């Protein structure tokens, strides 16, 4: 049965271009701050921002199961603590309110004035208080490329990779929103000639094209979430850039994995797009061989067809596209990742974030990091106007965009954009 807010025939009384990433069928969730420093939980249609805080205050959600004063907080966590039934009711309610045939709010100038904002008057801020963050390593093409570069090319994947969704716990405190400048990190780097470490700013700074899902409130400690149940605990997705200092990481990662080479910064797009909004874009993933353990088996289409692009911009030039990949290339899907994360009884909380790992496809143009594009720094990457790169340099800006599209509309996430400072 179609989710009501996804009706492709629905039109809004808010006008927007047909190419908009935020049609009425999207209704993502975010948080913004006004010029007067007032915080609003928000959604967006076209380029028009809609205050969920004001809609709740004016009793437009009274016919839903939304708990009182959910959206008068500084983040979406109180909303995420509520069940998927409530998430869906609120999104459906917004779709009905802004339907072209509904005049309830459209003809109420007083309410409309307090509910609707021009995007130029709002600064988007972190939509969540992220409690815990886990980064997976779930793109087979990416894992294979890295294995070929640094290990035996004939045995690129480690023995456990095809058996479990490999992951590690990252640092949530350094996750920042699009628009935040990233300072180049420092650490110990191994000198290739002397084989001794020296302290320096990273010389091999890289982006990682990823997506991340945000969780609702999970089960109690000691209980697990099955692949069948997983979608009831996944609120939605955002774009995710897991910045990586390759040289710092290379020296530190044995035996316990990434640390300072990752924890200096990761960044997210401002909007969380619900799993419901992405439902029309489900697709099959790669057949998993060998067969996975019973707790990782699933039924149905659990991958999503989302086109992902990465652009590099210098101070003097326009953005130049260097990557075109797709979220559908994930070998391990979100349901498997969440099931694996909790199979030992680990509890998850509302607002936890789990990133996909670098998303690469089979072709070079689909490689999701400069490490792969330059093949470990051996080759240059064209970035337009005769300029070249091997890794990200100071004052470079990395821009990521994600769009799912069918014959009726697009669903986007907003731009993820960060500049590197010295």
Residue 55, token pair as written in the block:
């809609």
Give the containing element (helix H, strand E) for 139: none
SS3 for 186?
A: strand
- In DSSP terms, 125 is beta-bridged to 31
The C-alpha atoms of residue 351 and residue 229 are separated, in whole angstroms, by: 18
Residue 321 and residue 330 in contact, taking contact as beta carbons nearer than 8 Å: no
Give how far Cα 147 sits from Cα of 135, 152, 157, 173, 395, Å: 18, 7, 6, 30, 30
SS3 for 100?
A: coil
Residue 56 and residue 21 in contact, taking contact as beta carbons nearer than 8 Å: no
Residues forming the active site: 142
SS3 for 80?
A: helix
CA 323 to chain CA centroid, Å, is 16
Spatial CA neighbour of 323 closest among 281, 370, 357, 355: 370
Compute how many other C-beta atoms are within 10 angstroms of the C-beta atom of residue 60: 20
Spatial CA neighbour of 214 closest among 332, 106, 75: 75
- Dihedral pair phi/psi, residue 76, rounded to 5°: -90, 0
The C-alpha atoms of residue 258 and residue 248 are separated, in whole angstroms, by: 9
Residue 235 and residue 274 in contact, taking contact as beta carbons nearer than 8 Å: yes
How many residues are there in the chain? 422
**DSSP per-residue codes, 236-297:** EEEEEE--EEHHHHHHH-TTT--SHHHHT-EEE-S-BEETTTTGGGEE-----SSPPPGGG-
Could you give the count of Cα atoms lying within 13 Å of 132 in the half-sphere of its Cβ? 13
């Amino acid at each position: 049965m179609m989710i009501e807010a996804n009706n492709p025939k629905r039109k809004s009384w808010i006008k927007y271009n047909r190419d908009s990433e935020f049609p009425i069928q999207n209704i993502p969730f975010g948080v913004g701050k006004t010029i007067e420093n007032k915080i609003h939980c928000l959604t967006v249609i076209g380029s028009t921002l809609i205050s969920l805080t004001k809609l709740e205050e004016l009793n437009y959600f009274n016919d839903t199961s939304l708990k009182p004063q959910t959206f008068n907080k500084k983040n979406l966590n109180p909303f995420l603590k509520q069940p998927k039934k409530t998430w869906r009711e609120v999104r459906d309610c917004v779709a009905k309110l802004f339907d072209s045939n509904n005049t309830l709010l459209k003809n109420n100038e007083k309410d409309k004035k307090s509910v609707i904002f021009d995007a130029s008057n709002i600064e988007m801020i972190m939509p969540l208080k992220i409690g815990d963050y886990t980064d997976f390593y779930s793109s087979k093409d990416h894992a294979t490329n890295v294995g070929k570069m640094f290990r035996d090319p004939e045995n690129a994947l480690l023995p456990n990779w095809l058996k479990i969704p490999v992951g590690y716990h990252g640092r949530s405190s350094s996750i920042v929103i699009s628009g935040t400048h990233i300072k180049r990190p420092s650490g110990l780097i191994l000198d290739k000639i002397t084989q001794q470490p020296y302290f320096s700013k990273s010389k091999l700074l890289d982006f990682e094209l990823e997506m991340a899902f945000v969780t609702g409130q999970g089960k109690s400690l000691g209980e697990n979430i099955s692949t069948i149940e997983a979608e009831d605990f996944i609120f939605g997705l955002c774009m995710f850039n897991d910045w990586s200092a390759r040289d710092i990481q290379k020296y530190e990662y044995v035996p316990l994995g990434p640390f300072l080479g990752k924890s200096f910064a990761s960044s997210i797009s401002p909007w969380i797009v619900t799993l419901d909004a992405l439902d029309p874009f489900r697709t099959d993933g790669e057949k998993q061989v060998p067969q996975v353990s019973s707790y990782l088996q699933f039924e149905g289409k659990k991958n999503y067809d989302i086109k992902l692009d990465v652009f590099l911009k210098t101070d003097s030039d326009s953005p130049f596209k260097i990557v075109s990949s797709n979220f559908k290339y994930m070998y391990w899907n979100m349901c498997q990742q969440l099931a694996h994360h909790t199979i030992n009884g680990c509890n998850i909380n509302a607002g936890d974030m789990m990133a996909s790992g670098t998303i690469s496809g089979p072709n070079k143009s689909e490689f999701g990091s400069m490490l792969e594009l330059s093949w470990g720094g051996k080759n240059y990457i064209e970035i337009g106007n005769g300029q070249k790169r091997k890794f990200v340099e100071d004052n470079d800006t990395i821009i990521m965009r994600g769009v799912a599209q069918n014959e009726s509309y697009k669903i986007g996430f907003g731009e993820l954009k960060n500049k590197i400072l010295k």
